[in-house]
Amino acid sequence: MTPKKPPDPDAPRSRAISGPADDWIRQFVKHFELNIVDCSRDVPPDAGVRESMRATASAVFATFLDSGMDKDAVLDLLEQVAFESISAGIAWSETLNHRRFELIDKEIEQSLTPAERIELVRLTGIMRNHVESELNLPIAGVQELHRKLLQLGASGEHD
């Protein structure tokens, strides 16, 4: 058994990994190594990168299943991670809003394909990030209201 590496005393606290998370990651890596060897056995020696990628993806999927997740939870997690990486930096627009409504209509009609379902989830996430962004808060109006309330309180006027 490989001994645990002691924590770096100079590492920032925000980058520290909890004991249970560290244990889970170490177990995941061990299981991944076993699964990658197992999944790679089916890859022919003259296989290209695409076949190796597929074997690696199969090993990752199998390792998540080994960790106690069910198939749907693994798919949801991978979808969330893909959404976050694909959607980073995409600004919400009228075009995206229009497409989202098209997909919602298809969902209501029960004609949404699996790829469109993922697209709808992605677009909904981008929209929510846009709506919840600090850039969209009516700060000027809130500041004006705050100023008026402070003036009202200072003057002693009450309704």
* 89 lies in the same domain as 152: yes
In tens, the pLDDT along 44-87 reads: 989 899 999 999 999 999 999 999 999 989 888 887 787 777 77
* 84 lies in the same domain as 121: yes
Residues 110-141: b if buried by 16+ CB within 10 A, e if exposed = eebeeeeebbbbbbebbeebbeeeeeeeeeee
Q: Does residue 56 lie within any of the structural domains?
A: yes
* 38 lies in the same domain as 52: yes
In tens, the pLDDT along 74-124 reads: 888 887 787 777 777 788 899 999 999 999 999 999 999 988 988 898 888
* 85 lies in the same domain as 152: yes
* 119 lies in the same domain as 97: yes
Residue 151's pLDDT is what?
86
* 103 lies in the same domain as 62: no
* 32 lies in the same domain as 63: yes
* 134 lies in the same domain as 149: yes
Q: Does residue 9 lie within any of the structural domains?
A: no
* 65 lies in the same domain as 84: no
Q: Does residue 8 lie within any of the structural domains?
A: no
Task: Answer yes or no: pTM beyond 0.85.
Answer: no
**Residue (of 102, 124, 98) closest to 113 by Cα position:** 102
Q: Which residue has the tokens 């981008």?
A: 126
The total of other beta-carbon atoms located within 10 Å of residue 32's CB is: 18
Residue 83's pLDDT is what?
73
* 98 lies in the same domain as 117: yes
Looking at the structure of the chain, the number of domains it has is 2
Look at 7 and 102; give whichever has higher pLDDT: 102
CA 134 to chain centre: 20
Per the structure, the complete domain to which residue 40 belongs is given by 19-69
* 136 lies in the same domain as 78: yes
* 97 lies in the same domain as 123: yes
Residue 152's pLDDT is what?
84
